[in-house]
Structure 1
């Protein structure tokens, strides 16, 4: 039996860890929040939403020394914690073990390779979404595709076996030969949507129908796509801007950055728009809009943490506005 350590028992860690458990893996969750570990150990991992309601008897720990010998470390902590968990993954993996990161932002697989080497790291991105409902409890708000692959572009047996295990567990996972491009595609997507949602409180479908929010998103995209061109990266989408606009038009989920703001937690703004600003600086590309967005979100973080904002409920989060985009971008209909 494949033994898996899920590093990060938040909403996405729960969704993907549950899929691996259903796919036949022996899964243990690692999280430094003792209340999360205690909830999973006492009541099981509880996941509801897109694939139904389930309670799974998974193990959990906050002690790295109790993880044992691991075949796969699935890294789903916030991007700011990657450097901290990389040595944990290195310490628990078997000699032929490997890591998979499906985190938001850029710089995650690069940080993991510093500790493990490129041959022991798989990377990708996902369009599943989720929300934490409390310690050990997660809502799977949207069932979407996931792409992952080897950093060198080969199609390996281990990647195919892992994808098959996820699929048995109910998730659509495809092995790709352009993992880095896939990561940058999701990076641009998150840079455009997440901070606009966090700053305004609007969900993607509402952003698409508000002229001011839509204009802000387009301005972020102008700068982000200029950086993509400078990096020499070919994104999977033929028209990334229209792809993101269509996504917004159809989706009413609550982006993770908005969830973090509402719960008074730090966001991933540094690994998203902050990282974009830094990459742009290296290429001499001005990014006034993204710089402004970073400052706004950091201000929101401080203000809401000070106010002690509680996690907002979102029973309607999975109820998207489906169908193709009609009408004009940025206009309420």
Structure 2
């Protein structure tokens, strides 16, 4: 099986390496020549919950050099999903398909628009990783990954892909309601990620800090208003309790905090900003979510300004 990895950040390295270890031929696409050089010269280098690993791969900055592949693993930031979908459409063989394990809403829809629902798998993962430089990742938490077909069918290819990941020590469950699973992760990320990014606190530290926890609870209140108004059925009986329990257990750096610290754009557009877009036609006001979006956007802009020397 030949797989194109589109997006070689921390999570791309973790899941791409797992597929390569399973026997797949992995070719990586990244627009940064330094990342491609590191991948070609050193391979994907991982440390963390599954031990230290070095996985040899091919890599390129040119989508045309991917050749024809059987699967495209899409793990770019949400703002790049439409472009990644076009890359996938160009490189996938006749029976090829894409898998997205990205954060946020809109990614599944973008891939379906480009490829058709019958060629798209999607899901969520509660694995955590921290980038440690080009082609290097620290796998900080071994969590559950949930995957499903966009059509809702439990197909042989879905089962086979799950077995590849399981054989490499990763927990995977399959679902016929992948959109519900995506919204569950979306709710978690909207609640936790911007509060962590704004305060510099990790999830467990948010729970230990009264002001940060209060801010997160207000954000959760508004998120659940939108979920209820849209009639979305989440898999959790008590989403708030699940979010708080999740926070208590985790000392990872959420991706939004990592991106801000690296001076990179965040995924706020596919998270709380997307939530505001869904709320507007419903006539719902989300002042706390609006405030955190403005604050994150201001910090993104600040990272592009020239330093001021007093």
- Name the TM tier (shorter chain): over 0.9
Return the alpha-carbon distance in structure 2 between the equivalents of residues 180 and 163 of structure 1.
Answer: 18
Equivalent positions of 1:109-148 (< 5 A) are 109-148=108-147
Matched, 1:245 2:244: yes
Q: Secondary structure at the match of 2:5?
A: strand
Equivalent positions of 1:136-175 (< 5 A) are 136-175=135-174
Residue in 2 aligned with 1:220? 219
CA contact (8 A) 1:73 1:98 kept: yes
Return the alpha-carbon distance in structure 1 between the equivalents of residues 200 and 48 of structure 2.
Answer: 23
Residue in 2 aligned with 1:81? 80
Return the alpha-carbon distance in structure 1 between the equivalents of residues 78 and 174 of structure 2.
Answer: 22
Return the alpha-carbon distance in structure 1 between the equivalents of residues 186 and 240 of structure 2.
Answer: 13
Residue in 1 aligned with 2:70? 71
Comparing 250-259 with 164-173, which one deviates more in the overlay?
164-173
Q: Secondary structure at the match of 1:42?
A: helix
Return the alpha-carbon distance in structure 1 between the equivalents of residues 172 and 61 of structure 2.
Answer: 28
Matched, 1:179 2:207: no
Matched, 1:9 2:29: no
Q: Secondary structure at the match of 1:134?
A: coil
Q: Secondary structure at the match of 2:271?
A: helix
Residue in 2 aligned with 1:281? 280
Give the 3 Å change call, closer, same or farther, for CA 286–49 of structure 1 in structure 2. Answer: same
In the TM superposition, what is the alpha-carbon distance from 1:175 to its structure 2 partner? Answer: 1.2
Residue in 1 aligned with 2:202? 203
Q: Secondary structure at the match of 1:170?
A: coil
Return the alpha-carbon distance in structure 2 between the equivalents of residues 282 and 213 of structure 1.
Answer: 29
Equivalent positions of 1:259-298 (< 5 A) are 259-298=258-297
Cα deviations across residues 22-61 of structure 1 (Å, max 9, x unaligned)? 1111111111111111001011111111111111111111
Q: Secondary structure at the match of 2:121?
A: strand
Return the alpha-carbon distance in structure 1 between the equivalents of residues 138 and 154 of structure 2.
Answer: 32
- Normalising by the residue count of structure 1, what TM-score does the alignment of the two structures yield? 0.90
Cα deviations across residues 161-185 of structure 1 (Å, max 9, x unaligned)? 0000111122111111110000000
Return the alpha-carbon distance in structure 2 between the equivalents of residues 9 and 103 of structure 1.
Answer: 12
Matched, 1:300 2:294: no
Give the 3 Å change call, closer, same or farther, for CA 192–74 of structure 1 in structure 2. Answer: same
In the TM superposition, what is the alpha-carbon distance from 1:152 to its structure 2 partner? Answer: 2.4
Residue in 2 aligned with 1:33? 32
Residue in 2 aligned with 1:46? 45
Return the alpha-carbon distance in structure 2 between the equivalents of residues 70 and 256 of structure 1.
Answer: 29
CA contact (8 A) 1:262 1:304 kept: no
Equivalent pairs, count: 307
In the TM superposition, what is the alpha-carbon distance from 1:241 to its structure 2 partner? Answer: 0.2
Return the alpha-carbon distance in structure 2 between the equivalents of residues 203 and 115 of structure 1.
Answer: 36
Return the alpha-carbon distance in structure 2 between the equivalents of residues 305 and 12 of structure 1.
Answer: 25
Return the alpha-carbon distance in structure 2 between the equivalents of residues 35 and 50 of structure 1.
Answer: 27
In the TM superposition, what is the alpha-carbon distance from 1:307 to its structure 2 partner? Answer: 6.4
Cα deviations across residues 183-219 of structure 1 (Å, max 9, x unaligned)? 0000000000000000000010110011111111111
Q: Unmatched 5+ residue regions in structure 2?
A: none
